[in-house]
């Protein structure tokens, strides 16, 4: 830690490559009895070095924008191992994805299906499509990351699947032989998976009875991680659920984990600027803020925070809020935590921020994007340097009419 601290200023993200690889291999191992491919959900952490880590393990990638597609190509994910998901793919994005020749596009509406057919026709290709269905299953997770309820915008109602398969059959440049489902993120309970996969299996049999071919099921991501001592889902039980629900359908299976693969690999290192006494608690004002890590305020996300320096066991802890310098009451990394007596310049590590941390950061308050570091054994590499203030302003211009002669 010392070397890193000596060369990179706070705040910064720091990831362990070892943990990412370990998680990937554990999932790979748990799924080895299934005909399964893992597609890393790039949105969880789109850094090129992170994608490359999974590419080297043989992973595919699940992308939700053309930007993510280009990251995958730059990081060496083979085009035939890329799946494109999302409710609002634009015509330009679809055209590019089809030209590049990715494995599959997951379609979320009938108009999208028509547009893909049109574009595929103009390019003279056949588009490999999966239909994302909404199984109306409660993933029992935070409201902002549940996606499989009928009131959510995602997928098409399961009961509409047959009519969409019928339309797809009439479209010359569409090949639809796959169902896809993703019910939400940070699932700690496996039962919602069982419920969703059971519905997908029933629909697969129903579609087959109607004469449609289905040879592929995309079973989504969402596996949760412990943020405050929760027990993460047992991968072997997950595998048993898969076997028990879709195991006899002889389909190829896809999984798209994001958070599970990268979440626990990352910390955010931040430095104490001031310690301010409030009523009944202290405010630890640090140099990291909600623009760097928005999970606490957006999702009520809990991240354990520990001092980087070791404290004596018997150091008396104090009730604290760990807050950033941004002018928003929502700018906190943690509230009501017991932390030892901290002073200016002490370093804190905010834990389990490898997923949806740097990925969701912004430059609010004109705070430049912060560095990301990848640790590999004894060595480390800066995999994203800090943005400069000049770069942060660089896209902007002042119109001539505002400038005096």
Ligand X SMILES: *Cc1c(COP(=O)(O)O)cnc(C)c1O
The catalytic residues are 327
* Separation in Å, CA 204 to CA 116, 209, 246, 250: 23, 9, 9, 11
Question: Across-strand partners of 130?
Answer: 106, 178
Q: Closest distance between ligand X and the C-beta of residue 27, in Å?
A: 11
CB of residue 181 to ligand X, shortest distance in Å: 9
> How far apart are CB 12 and ligand X at their closest, in Å?
22
| Residue closer to ligand X, measured from CB, 218 or 287 | 218
Q: How far apart are CA 92 and CA 170, in angstroms?
A: 24
CB of residue 32 to ligand X, shortest distance in Å: 20
Supply the DSSP string of 29-56, one letter for each residue: HHTTTS-EEEEEEGGG---HHHHHHHHH
103 or 260: CB nearest ligand X:
260
Q: Which is nearer to ligand X, 105 or 267 (CB)?
A: 105
In the complex, minimum distance from the CB of residue 260 to ligand X, in angstroms, rounded to a whole number? 6
CA distances from 336 to 195, 228, 271, 323 (A): 37, 14, 18, 11
CA distance 11 to 31: 37
Instruction: Provide the β-strand partners of residue 254.
Output: 37, 218
Radius of gyration of the chain (CA): 23
Residue 168: φ, ψ to 5°: -60, -35
Query: Helix 191-209 vs helix 161-170: angle between axes, to the nearest 10 degrees?
Result: 50
Identify which of 218, 291, 199 has the alpha carbon closest to the alpha carbon of residue 256.
218
Q: How far is the CB of 208 from ligand X (least distance, A)?
A: 24
Q: C-beta of 379: minimal distance to ligand X in Å?
A: 28
SS3 label, residue 20 = helix
Q: Is 317 helix (H, G, I), strand (E, B) or coil?
A: coil
Minimal CB distance to ligand X: which residue?
Answer: 258
The dihedral sign for the CA sequence 243, 249, 254, 256: negative
Q: Please compute, for residue 372, the number of CA atoms within 13 A of its CA located in the half-sphere on the CB side.
A: 24
C-alpha distances in Å from residue 271, one per residue of 11, 287, 354: 7, 6, 19
Give 22 or 341: the residue with its C-beta nearer to ligand X: 22
Nearer to ligand X, 106 or 204 (CB): 106
d(CA 156, CA 6): 52
Residues that bind ligand X (CB under 6 A): 41, 43-44, 62, 85, 182, 185, 220-223, 256-260, 355
CB 186 within 8 A of CB 264: no
One DSSP character per residue, 248-309 reads: GG--EEEE--SHHHHGGGEEEEEEEEEEEE-SSSEEEEES--TTT--HHHHH-----EEESS
Q: Which of 223, 298, 60 is nearest to 68 (CA)?
A: 60
Q: In angstroms, give the least distance from the CB of 145 to ligand X.
A: 7
The CA-atom distances, in angstroms, between 120 and each of 81, 84, 114, 342 are 19, 15, 10, 60
């Amino acid at each position: 830690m010392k070397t890193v601290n000596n060369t990179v200023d706070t705040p910064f993200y720091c990831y362990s490559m070892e943990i990412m690889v370990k998680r990937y291999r554990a999932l790979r191992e748990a799924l080895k009895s299934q005909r399964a491919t893992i597609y890393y959900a790039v949105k969880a952490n789109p850094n090129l070095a992170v994608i490359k880590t999974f590419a080297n393990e043989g992973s595919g990638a699940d992308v939700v924008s053309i930007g993510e597609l280009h990251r995958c190509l730059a990081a060496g994910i083979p085009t035939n191992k890329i799946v494109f998901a999302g409710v609002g793919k634009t015509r330009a994005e679809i055209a590019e994805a089809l030209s590049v020749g990715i494995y599959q596009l997951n379609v979320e509406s009938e108009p999208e299906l028509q547009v893909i057919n049109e574009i595929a026709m103009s390019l003279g290709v056949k588009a490999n499509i999966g239909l994302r269905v909404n199984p109306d299953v409660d993933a029992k997770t935070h409201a902002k990351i549940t996606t499989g309820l009928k009131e959510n915008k995602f997928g098409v109602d399961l009961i509409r699947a047959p009519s969409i398969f019928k339309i797809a059959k009439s479209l010359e440049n569409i090949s639809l032989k796959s169902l896809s489902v993703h019910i939400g993120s940070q699932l700690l309970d496996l039962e919602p998976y069982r419920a969703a996969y059971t519905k997908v299996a029933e629909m697969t049999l129903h579609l087959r009875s109607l004469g449609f071919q289905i040879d592929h099921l995309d079973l989504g991501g969402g596996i949760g991680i412990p943020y405050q001592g929760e027990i993460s889902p047992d991968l072997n039980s997950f595998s048993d659920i898969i076997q028990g629900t879709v195991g006899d359908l002889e389909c190829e299976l896809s999984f798209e984990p994001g958070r599970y693969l990268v979440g626990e690999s990352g910390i955010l290192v931040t430095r104490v600027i001031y310690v301010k006494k409030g009523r009944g608690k202290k405010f630890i004002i640090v140099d990291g803020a909600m623009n760097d890590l928005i999970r606490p305020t957006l999702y009520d996300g809990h991240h354990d925070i520990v001092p980087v320096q070791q404290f004596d066991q018997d150091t008396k802890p104090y009730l604290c809020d760990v807050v950033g310098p941004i002018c928003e009451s929502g700018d906190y990394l943690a509230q009501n935590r017991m932390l030892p007596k901290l002073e200016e310049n002490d370093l804190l590590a905010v834990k389990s921020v490898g997923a949806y941390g740097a990925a969701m950061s912004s430059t609010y308050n004109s705070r430049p994007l912060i560095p990301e570091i990848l640790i590999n054994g004894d060595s480390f590499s800066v995999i994203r340097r800090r943005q400069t203030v000049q770069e942060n302003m660089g896209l902007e211009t002042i119109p001539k009419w505002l400038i005096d002669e």
